[in-house]
Amino acid sequence: MTSSPALDHGMGDDTTIAASERILRVAGAQLGPIARDEPRATVVERLIGLLEAAHSQGAELVVFPELALTTFFPRWYFDSWDDIDPFFETEMPSPITAPLFERARALGVGFSLGYAELTADGHHFNTTILVERDGSVVGRYRKVHVPGHEAHEPWRPFQHLERRYFEPGDRFDAWQAFGGVVGVATCNDRRWPETYRVFGLQGCELLLIGYNTPIHYAPDPGQNRLAGFHNALVMQSGAYQNGMWVVGVAKGGVEEGVDSLAESCIIGPSGEVVARTDTTGDEVIVADCDLARCANYKTTLFDFDRYRRPEVYTRITAQRGVIAPEGS
């Protein structure tokens, strides 16, 4: 009997998938609360302290949370941009943030940092900058999925006015950096499978996600007890389904009276959590992320080119909301 190529498994033992290691030691630098009146300079000192702790543990990349320079101001309603704009950065680095950039470059450590960005032409974004170990800027990411509401809703115990204060970004771009393919997403983006898939389709091996997640969810408080479960659920599935490392980093704890989820974690391409914070304050976690392990998933059951059926998925980009089948 002649052998058929279609019946040939074409795969040896697993050592043929990831023959050589490509290890990047990554740190998640979780933040505890930032008070409304805490000066930027003090926050930058905290960030530098976390960066130095991460470096002393051998980390080459430090992931900071979303909006890591100020309190999470979308919890308050403001009518005037004069009250809102002071929470935004008009340059990055700025005189106040420069010491973080300088310290990172001196130590040869890269980082991602979330902040509120006000552009020269007056646009407001929820932005994260990614900086390489040599201090060069890899790229800027602007949050795509902007959650919450636009108008003051006094029935809530606190507001979530991101949709009032931020315009959405319009790109998920991965970059060649840190010896692999790296992407950045922000907080609510992590709940959407499209986020991971669009990065996965660029071969992304490491996705960095900062978040501020109030545990009380006013539209449906029955979800409150599930905040930690949902956080792990979405990031672990995104990692596994796309064969990528995911680093989720919180600003956690009780900030201006609002309790926010901590539970920062580093997740491997297997979907397993390999490191997790155990406090709700400033805390560093570290993991050796072997970017070569992504191939174990990307070239086997999640070999996109072989197994995906994009022609069957046209609704994903053709429609936004639900269109139910006709009939009763």
Of 143, 263, 265, 294, which is the active-site residue?
143
Is 141 one of the binding residues for ligand ING (CB under 6 A)? no
Measured between alpha carbons, how far is 309 from 295 in angstroms, rounded to an integer? 20
Q: Which is nearer to ligand ING, 234 or 291 (CB)?
A: 234
Render the burial of 76-106: b for 16+ CB within 10 Å, e for the rest. Answer: bebeeeeebeebbbeebbeeebeebbebbbe
Q: Which is nearer to ligand ING, 58 or 228 (CB)?
A: 228
Is 212 one of the binding residues for ligand ING (CB under 6 A)? yes
Integer angstrom CA distances of residue 268 from 15, 259, 326 = 18, 28, 42
Is 213 one of the binding residues for ligand ING (CB under 6 A)? yes
Is 148 one of the binding residues for ligand ING (CB under 6 A)? yes
Q: Which of 214, 238, 248, 252 binds ligand ING (CB under 6 A)?
A: 214
Active site residue 143: yes
Binding window for ligand ING (CB under 6 A); candidates: 1-9, 131-139, 212-220, 264-272: 212-220
Q: Which of 217, 259, 270, 276 binds ligand ING (CB under 6 A)?
A: 217
Q: Which is nearer to ligand ING, 259 or 288 (CB)?
A: 259
Binding window for ligand ING (CB under 6 A); candidates: 9-17, 101-109, 211-219, 292-300: 211-219
Cβ atoms of 68 and 210 closer than 8 Å: yes
Q: Got the DSSP string for 127-195?
A: EEEEE-TTS-EEEEEE-SS--S-SS--TTSSS---HHHH-PPP-----EEETTEEEEEEEGGGGG-HHH
Residues 63-102 binding ligand ING (CB under 6 A) are 66
Active site residue 187: yes
Residues 239-298 binding ligand ING (CB under 6 A) are none
Is 211 one of the binding residues for ligand ING (CB under 6 A)? yes
Query: 320: buried, middle or exposed (CB in 10 Å: 19+, 13-18, 0-12)?
Result: exposed
Q: How many residues lie near ligand ING (CB under 6 A)?
A: 12
Is 191 one of the binding residues for ligand ING (CB under 6 A)? yes
Q: Which of 27, 59, 113, 187 binds ligand ING (CB under 6 A)?
A: 187
Measured between alpha carbons, how far is 225 from 245 in angstroms, rounded to an integer? 26
Render the burial of 218-239: b for 16+ CB within 10 Å, e for the rest. Answer: beeeeeeeebeeebbebbbebb
Binding site for ligand ING (CB under 6 A): 66, 147-148, 160, 187-188, 191, 211-214, 217
Residues annotated as catalytic are 66, 143, 187
